[in-house]
Amino acid sequence: MGFFRFFAPGLRKNWKVVLLSVLGAATFWFFNAMNKNYDTRLDYPINYLFKRDSVVVVEPLTQNVKIVVSSGGWNLLRKTLRINARPIQVRLDNPTEIRFLTRASLIPMISDQLDGLKLTYVVTDTIFFHIEEKVIKRLPIMIDSINVPLKESYRITSPIKIANDSVTFTGPRSLMTQLSSPVLLAFKDKNISSNYDEELGYQTEKIITAEPKETNIQFSVSRFLYKDVTIPIEFLNFPVDSSIVPRQKDIKIYYTINEKEVDEVLKSDFSVTVDYSMLNKRDSTISPILMYAHEKALDIVLATDYIKVEYQDKRP
């Protein structure tokens, strides 16, 4: 016990007695101090009373009010430790109409409900509220097929199946009025390149609830290839004496097709005509016309928009 080397030698042998004496004095001082009155600042809990079924709390409510109170030490200790601290009950008769409560409004409300404490001062200047009327809307669901995030060269090849045709939203009036109808579903995946079968949610604010929360979406996807084919042109109504002839005899056709159906399309499935009766005499051109094409060939484009003709000299 090096601590006692500065004291009389007799105390070294009686250090337990000294320690008990110090503890006794400290205990006496503590209990004596706790019986006195003190002022202290507290974060006191508050609770709000209003009909919650018909409204939505848009922003979190303040959970504590800062106050200065006076009371005996024991009572203050209990309140500080939140032992038997009954929250201040704040009644909101018209919660959607009330935006705030000022210090002047809070003082009588708090004073009447402090159990064993005397209110000295309310530190909190104002408590703000954002509570709105609850609105329920049932809206149709739709997929915008143009904006489905497919991988390049892939396309949807089946009808889009939506498990639910509508969804019921619940939320505050100000946000519910902003909901568009129909509701567009938000895709989680990007670069979709295989048959799709997923649960999708809705693009709304977090405070708005949806029932059902998600809906199943299904559709088939295939890769499409860019192809071309060169075919002979069919000429109509040209002079029989060959005094006017086209500069080209065939034409290239570009098209897109499902890679699974490439072998089903042949040259003979296309036909292009050039009709002399449609001659533009100003520039000696004729626009070619696609007469028919295979039904599975898509996005068909002719390589040229006009065919030039030449005048032959038939003099002997």
How do the pLDDT tens digits run along the chain, 316 residues long?
454 454 455 555 555 554 555 554 444 444 444 444 556 777 888 999 999 999 999 999 999 999 887 765 455 555 554 545 688 899 998 999 989 999 998 989 888 887 767 788 889 999 999 999 999 999 999 988 888 999 999 999 999 999 999 999 999 999 999 998 898 888 888 899 999 999 998 888 889 999 999 999 999 999 999 999 999 999 999 988 888 899 999 999 999 999 999 999 999 999 999 999 999 989 999 999 999 999 999 999 999 999 999 887 654 5
Q: Which two tokens stand for residue 125?
A: 């200047």
Give the residue from 241, 52, 238, 206 showing the smallest Cα distance to 129: 52
The structure tokens 């329920």 sit at: 136
Whole-angstrom Cα distance, residue 92 to residue 89?
A: 10
- Residues whose CB is less than 8 angstroms from the CB of residue 288 and which lie 6 or more positions away in sequence, other chains included: 233, 251, 272, 273, 274, 302, 304, 305, 306, 307
The continuous run of DSSP H or E covering 116 comes out as: none
Question: Euclidean distance between the first and final Cα of the chain, in Å?
Answer: 142
Whole-angstrom Cα distance, residue 224 to residue 257?
A: 5
